[in-house]
Structure 1
């Protein structure tokens, strides 16, 4: 058939029907053989490949189950609206693995290990107390690790580069035994509307999504299983997490300048202290963007209650610091000039030796591994379909025409 943008209506309908027939077969195959497939790819769970390696190996060992490198390369060369949607097949694959208690638990644990290259960066950080990555700056001040987002051209919105750099920074902060507390904050931005101001995060970079440069495996799924889960649970250093394997978990503080939209707000849901600038707001614009707001659907309700969570996720309600509901999500609201001192104070208050153990117990009670695994299994499939849905493709095109990001 012609490439997707060149198809007639009849050809487009026929292509979609063929894709769905094949996806049904993949669903059926994996429903029966997910554990066997995973054992084959991990040598009986003696190896711990990360998501990209697992997908690449599956394409070789089980041709047709997930897209191979050539097909993915062809997909990534075009706009999101011009893709065949082969990442949906990756969503089906990972959804089936996560649905299995055996394979899914092993995969989650594998993604809690330090990412490749983090150990080398740790040595550099220990020498200089500073680590400069393309989109993130990590600095040590006393017992605190200060992680600053530096994607200022797009309001510190998330893209593949920022996600990779954040995982490295979080790994290093968790591995360094001099660090007791981590701090997340957005750096100054260059966007004309907020030039020179610090902004926490504008969420997913919709311009990059429109251009086809937001990856499903490395970003949309890897983010949740990677650095965000490490913020919540720490690093798994040895032994299975379910059996009490040693973890390096530390408390985290978020400092919100301006706003925390989408993925920015999602981060706050796993942090131990949130400090916000007066006049800041939080939002999960899932209804507007059309995609699933990560694990926000899992985590927001326990903080705000069901009514408020539905208003935020389904109707786009913004929570301003002046709103009474902000007290459910933010610990302190302060003038901009007081934020630095408040962050330093939070580091001192959370550096006690019992804090890490108690936050680990809170996570165990609030979000046990089985609950996380079950959510991620469905999220993988739903989100892969959402990023290729007609409404999302139309909306990202409109945002790109306006400014590259949903307006703040």
Structure 2
């Protein structure tokens, strides 16, 4: 019989994972506060910088399913330490860039890959490996760490931009990433079975999951191949594409420049994004709790529909006072990434528990592809049209459509997906 300590190690792993995902989210969100200083220093256009951010977001998403497979083959602790070291090195090098191609290499590629290793797929993996009960709530809190990352980092980055320059802000981000490496090395554990424990809420006679023996890349590619033949995969990927386009790609990247277009100082607009983080911490945690109790499809219908309405209203919010941007921040913030817990639950039902993390990695990749497209296209729209208003309105209409698509997920009997 496995021993059960007073404080289950799962909760220590949960806490470390929260800090890692918070750090990765803060680094990934940093370009939203850096776009204005980079435009001023180098003369790069919003379209050019949006392309850099779009590349980072694209790789951030595409690395997800391979990250899940790498966790299975080499262990989370090794993979996360390597990712944090890559982030720290890339951030330090970014202070020396002078050409746009250098920014693409450092921010677009290196930071995209590193942050993708410590993103949503990590939360899904930890929730599946360590928790047989409370998984929706755990995943909701871990997902909300990305919002908390904005809350912690963006106002500080904006303040440092004003008083010390963007390079000092980036160096401090590198120091935070480096400081997390020993924390992960000492406290993160790969699986409960490796230290003689069961998952939280798991029966003592439950069989441990089999160890992965397939090449990680092959495992991920086979999962994608099988998923492409499934209607639910396309519905999950399509709705999550729209989720990414309307959050990280659009608001996360372009809200601060849009505020500048309306005469709102960078520090205040960064605080607005941070306020969204506060509300999303509440909203996504609540979404995890709700996902444990209600139909995930109906939750997604509500989340996408309400997000769409808020984006349609955003162009008018800039001109309002008390009921303008503060109200938008609260309403939109509650819904920022509340879609993740029900999406993971639907992926688990569609593809099975043993395949949920890798398949969610591919669904998550579509999220970041959508975010990359929006980061680039919104920058092009702003460069050509002189305003972000149309981009916000179009994204809102598409979100409403995603709500109806979500209702069709899981309407057919699930079919097993090969584990490789």
TM-score strictly above 0.5: no
Q: Larger helix proportion, structure 1 or 2?
A: 2
Length-normalised TM-score, structure 2: 0.28
Length-normalised TM-score, structure 1: 0.28
**Bigger relative contact order, structure 1 or 2, given CA contacts below 8 A and separation 6+?**
2
Q: Larger strand proportion, structure 1 or 2?
A: 1
